[in-house]
């Protein structure tokens, strides 16, 4: 399984945002939605071997995680608005245990530490950051998780949580890219290996 874990620092944890204002009133949810689309969509299909975790840390009840699971995915369309509706519908559910909101979309009241702890032991965890090893050093594994952030850097505390489990830090180069572009680059690299 190919996994992407994206931290949304200001993305709301309640479903009271407008689908017409995901870049402002929804705490840059638009960034996370583009990540979902970059992770899953191919030209005429979607990747079934992908899982995306959106770790939401905005008000009013952080943290919450919305998980998109490729093997069960239905109703995912390439526009941000419909993907935003899937996230909003998931956030209508309050759950300490994972709850399904639609086929392939789940929500749970957990944060980054719990998401990383829930990954299978054999899963390689890779932190995507500008000062890591070159992308060319990435060795493809059967089960990999890539951690990145929204428009803000991970905090020192978040990096500390990640480094407890991370197998390494990979850089896509000296230039900072948008998070969704990073996912496209990683998918391309893994597809070529």
Each residue's pLDDT tens digit, 24-36: 889 999 999 999 9
CB 14 within 8 A of CB 61: yes
Total number of domains in the chain? 1
Long-range contacts of 20-25 (CB under 8 A, 24+ apart): 22/80, 22/81, 22/84
What is the chain's mean pLDDT, rounded? 95
Identify the CATH number of the domain in which residue 12 sits: 3.40.1280.10
Residue 95 pLDDT: 75
The average pLDDT across 77-94 equals: 94
* Cα 119 from Cα 103, distance rounded (Å): 21
Residue 63 pLDDT: 96
87: confidence class by pLDDT, cuts 50, 70, 90: very high
The pLDDT > 90 percentage for the chain reads 88
Residue 13 pLDDT: 96
Is the previous residue joined to 60 through a cis bond, with omega within 30 degrees of 0? yes
* Cα 86 from Cα 100, distance rounded (Å): 11
- DSSP readout, 81-100? HHHHHHHHHHHT---SS-EE
Domain containing residue 166: 2-192
Each residue's pLDDT tens digit, 88-116: 999 999 878 999 999 999 999 999 999 99
Count Cβ neighbours within 10 Å for each residue of 162-176 and write b for 16 or more, e otherwise: beebbeebbbbeeee
Which helix (H) or strand (E) segment is 56 a member of?
strand 50-56
Q: Within 13 A of 139's CA, how many CA atoms are on the CB side?
A: 4
Q: Global pTM?
A: 0.96
């Amino acid at each position: 399984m190919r996994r992407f874990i994206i931290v949304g620092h200001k993305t709301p944890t309640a479903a009271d945002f407008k689908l017409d204002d995901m870049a402002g009133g929804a705490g840059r949810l638009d960034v996370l939605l583009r990540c979902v689309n970059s992770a899953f969509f191919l030209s005429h299909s979607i990747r079934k071997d992908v899982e995306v975790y959106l770790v939401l840390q905005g008000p009013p009840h952080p943290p919450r995680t919305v998980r998109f699971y490729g093997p069960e995915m239905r109703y995912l369309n390439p526009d941000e608005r419909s993907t935003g509706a899937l996230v909003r519908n998931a956030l209508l559910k309050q759950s300490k245990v994972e709850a399904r909101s639609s086929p392939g979309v789940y929500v749970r009241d957990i944060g980054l530490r719990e998401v990383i702890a829930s990954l299978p032991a054999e899963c390689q965890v890779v932190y995507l950051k500008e000062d890591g090893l070159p992308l060319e050093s990435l060795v493809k594994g059967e089960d990999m998780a890539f951690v990145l952030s929204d428009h803000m850097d991970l905090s020192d505390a978040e990096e500390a949580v990640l480094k407890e489990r991370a197998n390494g830090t990979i850089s896509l180069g000296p230039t900072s890219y948008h998070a969704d572009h990073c996912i496209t680059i990683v998918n391309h690299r893994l597809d070529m290996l």
